[in-house]
Structure 1
Amino acid sequence: MTKQDPIPARLAALRTTSTPDLKQQWRELFDSEPPPFNRRYLESRLAYRIQELAYGGLKPDTIRRLETLGEQLDGGDRKKSRIRADLKPIVGTRLIREWQGVEHLVTVTSDGFDWQGRPYKSLSAIARAITGTRWNGWVFFGLKNHRRGA
């Protein structure tokens, strides 16, 4: 008789575990307070951690490779590496905003934004060029609600 691996059942149970219990598991597995993120995030990170502890983590070669790829993406800039990648729209995304009857098109580039054939580092600079006043570019282009956050 072979011993059955309990990990798959433990992972499946995460979906029906109450949020307070997920947070308690977080404290036990990470030895820290759970972050204030949504339930799906807690489930996915707990699932990874459970498997990591049971089967082992990434191999040192894999970690080095991921670090190298990350440095290629952010140029080793520690400030850039702390910015959540999902905050910036995907390269090639086109943002359209009408202002005083004129439609403005901004394209997301790998190092910022393009408006009227000119590169810009921030959406706020583009919003200021369009309106002549200071704006939060994310709010101006509808990517962020200034009352609620993202």
Structure 2
Amino acid sequence: MPRIAAQNAAQAPAPIIAAIPPADVLGRLAALQTAPIAHLKQQWRELYGKEPPPFSRTYIQSRLAYRIQELAYGGLKSETRARLEALGEQLDGGNVVLRRIRADSRPLPGTRLIREYDGVQHVVTVRTDDFEYEGRPYRSLSAIARHITGTRWNGWTFFGLKGRPSV
């Protein structure tokens, strides 16, 4: 029986979400600031047609503000979306891991990371696409930390970097 319910749920049409009159936008945006979280979550269900994510009030407010404006004035054209995707591909070469790393969280190329371990000073140079240690390229700081210590380490922690990128 659950299999039939799952099939029916998969075939259910997407909810129809009505456009918002442009004259209502400012009032709705202002109301987001003081609305209780339960009301924000209900608006999410109405405007997105699905359950809200378990994120902060600030996140839900900002996404609702965007969605209200999108439904009133229209979203990005498909050509614009395609162009943005193409630009993203050019920047990261299609590498999904690089795409998930915030650009400002990685040290700039040329940065030297210095760590003393077991009385020996270890120097790593950050390069554009990898890291150099003892004249050899490494794809990650964790690989270098493992080479130095012989055990598994989070490379960002080992070298004392805060704001480790989320991969």
Aligned to 1:47: 65
**TM-score (normalizing by structure 2):** 0.65
Q: Describe the superposition over 1:97-117 as per-residue Cα deviations: whole angstroms up to 9, x where unpaired.
A: 443455545455442334455
1:74 Cα deviation from its structure 2 partner: 2.9
1:89 correspondence with 2:110? no
**Equivalent-residue separation in structure 1 for 2:94 and 2:122 (angstroms):** 33
Unaligned runs of 5+ in 2: 1-20
Mapped contact 1:7–1:50 kept (Cα < 8 A): yes
Counterpart selection for 1:71 from 60, 65, 89? 89
Aligned to 1:61: 79
Task: Specify the code of the residue in structure 2 equivalent to 1:120.
Answer: Y
Aligned to 2:97: 80
Aligned to 2:117: 99
Percent of pairs identical after alignment? Answer: 61
Q: Summarize the alignment of residues 1-150 of structure 1 with structure 2, pairs less than 5 Å apart.
A: 5-77=23-95, 79-80=96-97, 84-86=100-102, 89-92=105-108, 94=111, 97-102=115-120, 104-106=122-124, 108-116=126-134, 118-142=136-160
Unaligned runs of 5+ in 1: none
| C-alpha RMSD of the superposition | 3.3
Partner-residue secondary structure (3-state), 2:23: coil
1:36 Cα deviation from its structure 2 partner: 2.4
Task: Specify the code of the residue in structure 2 equivalent to 1:59.
Answer: K
Mapped contact 2:141–2:155 kept (Cα < 8 A): yes
**Equivalent-residue separation in structure 2 for 1:12 and 1:108 (angstroms):** 46
Higher Cα radius of gyration: 2
Alpha-carbon distance change, 43 to 4 in structure 1, aligned in 2, over 3 angstroms: closer
